[in-house]
Structure 1
């Protein structure tokens, strides 16, 4: 008897899946680069802010508080960038391998990322277009405006591009994985199909002659 197994051939990876994974990995790396740039530049921002804040007559504790906010914002953004980078790269690899769980997780992350990107873009636009008016205390307004003015123009432009690119990238990734061309690649691959063993029917036997 012979037990033969037939294995289904490897599924070809659609271009839509490859493109989605490539975008995810690129977004993860770009987020890390942006975080490094922010950490490298925030020191100069805080120095310019402290110099301008001294002319407002604000107390040292108020100046230190806003300086800590500037540092904390960049550090928190850097930590989130690392987390999202690791997550995006891991999900990108999972999508390349045709794991449906990775595709579902990518849709969830894309929804959250799209929301964060839109919020970030709104914050950048607000920072570049509005003048602070947070209280009736002119000194507080001047201090907060000094922090806003301490950021270089390229900082606002870079964060605007990153936020817009982030929102667009998550949207494109979600759409690519939802296209009909991507569906077959994420279907569960059939395992080896066993073929029933071939048995030879027994030869008929001739009963012995009865005794005489």
Structure 2
């Protein structure tokens, strides 16, 4: 007898789920691009900072320390961007497949991402509006200001757009997955009525054989 496989009917994917997953994948790719741009630009930033720092009279160790800080900040940011991009893309694909665990994890990541995006936006606003004033030593102030001035003019604008877009994207994703239209797609199939295969009717069996009639000496009585 051949095995009969039962295919579960495909659930239609709501547009809200598709939009949320698309935004997540786009945010992951955008984070990778931003990390690559930062790594490509930091070398020129450090070179300009070193040239300007020589005029402040600061020691070489102080100059190297701030240069290393600039490099370290960009490298750490790039590593975090790769991790978050991988996580966002994986969760986006999980949401496309209707996995409720991926949706719950997306809400958690969205909360953390929204917080980080707001903090990054505040940091960018502070960097663009304020000058470095971390010490009463004028030489140190000049040195830290030289590092700020070494960044290109588009640096602050790009980071501000990325931070604002990150915060807005996480908020939109969380809301899209929380809409009532998204709930049925993530409902567990176990909650639905189980589909049991219908067994074919049993094949008819052959009728029992008739009893065998043996010849005997008995004869019916004769007619008068």
**TM-score (normalizing by structure 2):** 0.85
Cα displacement (A) at 1:153: 1.1
Tell me if structure 2 keeps the 8 A contact 1:25–1:88: yes
Give the match for residue 53 of structure 1: 53
Give the match for residue 105 of structure 1: 105
Write the deviation string for residues 151-196 of structure 1: whole angstroms up to 9, x where unpaired. 1110100000000000000000000000000000000124852156
**TM-score (normalizing by structure 1):** 0.89
Write the deviation string for residues 61-113 of structure 1: whole angstroms up to 9, x where unpaired. 00000000000000000000000000000000000000000000000000111
Tell me the matched-pair count. Answer: 204
Tell me if structure 2 keeps the 8 A contact 1:45–1:151: yes
- Separation in 1 of the partners of 2:16 and 2:167? 19
- State the SS of the aligned residue for 1:175: helix
**Structure 1 stretch displaced more, 163-172 or 189-198:** 189-198
Write the deviation string for residues 21-78 of structure 1: whole angstroms up to 9, x where unpaired. 0000000000000000000000000011001111110000000000000000000000
Write the deviation string for residues 115-156 of structure 1: whole angstroms up to 9, x where unpaired. 111111011001100011111111111101110111111010
Cα displacement (A) at 1:7: 5.1
Give the match for residue 25 of structure 1: 25
- Separation in 2 of the partners of 1:109 and 1:48? 37
- Separation in 1 of the partners of 2:63 and 2:139? 11
Give the match for residue 209 of structure 1: none
> Considering only aligned residues, what root-mean-square deviation do their CA atoms show, in Å?
2.3
Cα displacement (A) at 1:4: 8.1
Which segments of structure 1 move beyond 6 Å, counting only runs of 4 or more? 3-6
Gaps of 5+ in 1: 201-212
Give the match for residue 127 of structure 1: 127
Give the match for residue 67 of structure 1: 67
Higher relative contact order (CA 8 A, sep 6+): 1
Gaps of 5+ in 2: 203-224
Task: Say whether residues 1:180 and 2:180 are aligned partners.
Answer: yes
Give the match for residue 212 of structure 2: none
- Separation in 2 of the partners of 1:44 and 1:6? 62
Give the match for residue 194 of structure 1: 196
Task: Give matches, 1:89-168, under 5 Å.
Answer: 89-168=89-168
- Separation in 1 of the partners of 2:110 and 2:175? 10
Cα distance change of structure 1 residues 5 and 36 upon mapping to structure 2, 3 Å threshold: closer
Cα displacement (A) at 1:9: 1.6
